[in-house]
């Protein structure tokens, strides 16, 4: 029997209603593709995702992870700086740990334009 492929989901509390829909969709997509979500971890926001991903992916029973959340553009460049920093950290983790990380963190101008649909983000 082939080994199951185990996933971890790391989700941000910021915009929890939208991110919950993303987590639900990610679980459906994973199941439809024969993947097992064995861990779901909620963190305050995107800044905390790289550390949580690293801790989870160091476990031998987790083969890959998906980071889910929302980053708003806002009135300053903070949102774009955060998006770049988080994505760079996630890419570095993939390379260091040799385990894939899917990213479903849409970047939106404001709350009204982020509908929380990871099907097109993953």
Tell me the per-residue pLDDT of 6-23, one tens digit each, with 9 for 90 and over: 999 999 999 999 999 999
Domain 5-120 annotated CATH 3.40.50.960: yes
For the stretch 20-78, pLDDT in tens is 999 999 999 999 999 999 999 999 999 999 999 999 999 999 999 999 999 988 778 88
Q: In the structure, what pLDDT confidence band is assigned to residue 95 with cuts at 50, 70 and 90? A: very high
Compute the distance between CA of residue 17 and CA of residue 80 in angstroms, rounded to an integer.
Answer: 22
Choose, from 78, 84, 109, 119, the residue flagged as catalytic: 78
Output the pLDDT for position 59: 98
Higher-confidence residue of 107 and 29: namely: 29
Output the pLDDT for position 2: 60
- Active site annotation includes 78: yes
């Amino acid at each position: 029997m082939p080994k199951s492929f185990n996933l971890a989901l790391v989700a941000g509390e910021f915009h929890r209603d939208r991110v919950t829909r993303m987590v639900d969709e990610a679980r459906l997509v994973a199941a439809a593709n024969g993947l097992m979500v064995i861990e779901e971890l909620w963190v305050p926001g995107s800044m905390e995702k790289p550390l949580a991903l690293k801790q989870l992916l160091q476990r031998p029973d987790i083969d890959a992870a998906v980071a889910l959340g929302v980053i708003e553009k806002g009135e300053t460049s903070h949102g774009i700086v955060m998006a770049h920093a988080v994505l760079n950290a996630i890419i570095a983790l993939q390379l260091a740990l040799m385990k894939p990380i899917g990213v479903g963190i849409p970047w939106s101008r404001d709350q009204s334009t982020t509908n929380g649909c990871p099907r097109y983000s993953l």
